[in-house]
Amino acid sequence: MFSAVLVVEGVLRIPGTEGHYDTGWSLYQALNKNTRLHLLSHTWTEPEIALWLTKRHITGHQSYLHTPEPGPAGRLEALQRIRTQRIGALVIESDPACAAAELAAGWSTALITSALHGPQQPPAGPSGIRPWDDLAQAVERQHDLRLTPHAPEHP
């Protein structure tokens, strides 16, 4: 079965509020029926997110990953915990900088934005636009990583 990681902030929950995105809620429901769905957040601990999810009748995901560090480093650390379980997953992300780091680390990533959240700037080069060749190389590198067998990590 396919696995997916849904980032809570900006996809499911409106950042800085108790509110949720209807689109994110619908996406959660659709993915939860057909995938092993994992949630990832840097804002709330597991008890806090469990309460928020229960109030909205959002149940059934496989696991919750908390990372105390926001941004790309925190996301990659949390995703590495999933990768050590030999789970390859689609990451549904709302932060362009995090999406770029996830792609560079070999994760399939879907970037979702919301008009309610305001415009977000994509990862950019010096000219403000990321060159097509950079995107093509990132996709090629991701493809190569997918074809390379991952050896289990030993502590």
Q: Is residue 155 part of a domain?
A: no
Does 154 reside within a domain? no
pLDDT at 118: 47
In a domain, 135, yes or no: yes
The pLDDT of residue 144 is 72
Domain assignment of residue 73, yes or no: yes
10 touches 114 (CB < 8 A): yes
Q: How many domains does the chain have?
A: 1
Domain range for 116 is 3-147
CB 110 within 8 A of CB 122: no
Is 111 contained in some domain? yes
Distance between CA atoms of residues 155 and 134, nearest Å:
34
- Give the CA angle between residues 89, 139, 104 to the nearest 5°: 65
Instruction: Kindly report the backbone phi and psi dihedral angles of residue 110, in degrees, each rounded to the nearest multiple of 5, phi listed first.
Output: -115, 125
49 is a domain residue: yes
The answer to whether residue 36 sits within a structural domain is: yes
pLDDT tens-place values along the chain, 155 residues long:
688 899 998 998 888 888 888 888 899 889 888 888 898 998 888 888 888 888 888 877 888 888 878 889 999 998 888 776 656 679 999 999 999 999 998 899 999 887 655 444 444 444 555 666 677 777 777 767 777 665 555 55
How high is the pLDDT of residue 115?
A: 67
Task: State phi, psi for 134 to the nearest 5 degrees.
Answer: -65, -45
Specify the CATH number for the domain of residue 129: 3.40.50.1000
In a domain? residue 91? yes
Percent of the chain predicted with pLDDT > 70: 77
pLDDT of amino acid 123? 44
Place of tokens 């959240």: 117
